[in-house]
Structure 1
Amino acid sequence: MMKVKDLMTSPVFSLKENDSLHNARSLMDLQRIRHIPIVTVDNVFSGLVTHRDILGATISRLAELDPETQKEIDSGIPIHEIMRTDITSVEDEMSLKDAAQILLNHKYGCLPVVHDGELAGILTEADFLRLTITLMDALDEKA
């Protein structure tokens, strides 16, 4: 039986609670990711920031802010002010099928993965798509 730890992305890009909105926006842009787990200084999982959260905290382009002003505003907003804390996380030993069921039933884009309370990785829809492609390739080879 496959477990979450067999498919999760690890190590995972994360930020601390006091990092800024600017840090989150930059990390997402640089790494081309849509989810950032937030941890305490002891690496204990405490929340999640999504691309949608960042868009919601962004001043509309209609305000015609120049990028430097937007950066200045973002730098003054600690990530803990916009992060979600009511996030479902899973243990790394959970079965992959159970984790997939949680993603599907709740329409989540990701599941932060913890081990003894500490952030261990992240499981995303993209991880399952990669697995699906691998399985389809294996089926094609048998045919």
Structure 2
Amino acid sequence: MRTVADLMVTNLVTLKEHDSLAKAKELMQERNIRNIPITDDEGRCVGMLTQREYLRYAFHLVSQFGTQLMSKKEQQTPISHAMNKDILTLSPETDLDMAAEFFIENKYGCLPVTQDDKLVGILTPVDFVKLAHTMLNQTA
């Protein structure tokens, strides 16, 4: 196991920029995930919605409209208002050591993996923890 392709998750849950924050929140809760890649109609990764970004925008909505209108405002607000568009991507051929350094130095919670401009996977620190766990069990 040497490249991102060996460790990345490929069974992806994605949303579109026009999908609502309410849909993203529901998906995060149902699937117990914290990061959702946002793709366009051609499958290109145009951003990421993380749990942190969702919460930041949710607090903004509450401060502007109060808790009574929160649910309605989440349904009316497209993900594009809250997502991070300035994202770093990896290629499947990226060395795992380099990917690990990105996580350590930048404290990323998730990195999209793209090939030919198309989203093909994601990599998270949890994937490295799972790898470490597997390796520890093999040496025990």
Q: What TM-score does the superposition give when structure 2 sets the normalisation length?
A: 0.91
Residue 64 of structure 1, CA deviation = 6.5
Tell me, yes or no, if structure 1 residue 125 matches structure 2 residue 125: yes
Q: Aligned-pair RMSD on alpha carbons?
A: 1.6
**Distance change (3 Å), C-alpha of 1:38 and 1:132:** same
What residue ranges of structure 2 are gaps of 5+ in the alignment?
A: none
Q: Secondary structure at the match of 1:88?
A: coil
Name the count of aligned residue pairs: 137
Q: Secondary structure at the match of 2:135?
A: helix
Tell me, yes or no, if structure 1 residue 47 matches structure 2 residue 47: yes
Which of 64, 67, 70 is the equivalent residue of 1:65?
A: 67
Percent identity, please.
Answer: 36
What residue ranges of structure 1 are gaps of 5+ in the alignment?
A: none
Work out the CA distance in 2 between the residues paired with 1:132 and 1:108.
18
Q: For residues 44-97 of structure 1, give each alpha carbon's deviation from its aligned partner in whole angstroms, at most 9, with x where no partner exists.
A: 110001101111111449x8635xx43221011010111111111101111111
Q: What TM-score does the superposition give when structure 1 sets the normalisation length?
A: 0.90
Amino acid at match of 1:110: C
* 1:107 paired residue number: 107
Work out the CA distance in 1 between the residues paired with 2:44 and 2:66.
38
* 1:74 paired residue number: 74
Tell me, yes or no, if structure 1 residue 28 matches structure 2 residue 28: yes
Work out the CA distance in 2 between the residues paired with 1:125 and 1:52.
16
* 1:137 paired residue number: 137
Work out the CA distance in 1 between the residues paired with 2:138 and 2:62.
47
* Contact 2:62–2:70 under 8 Å retained in 1: no
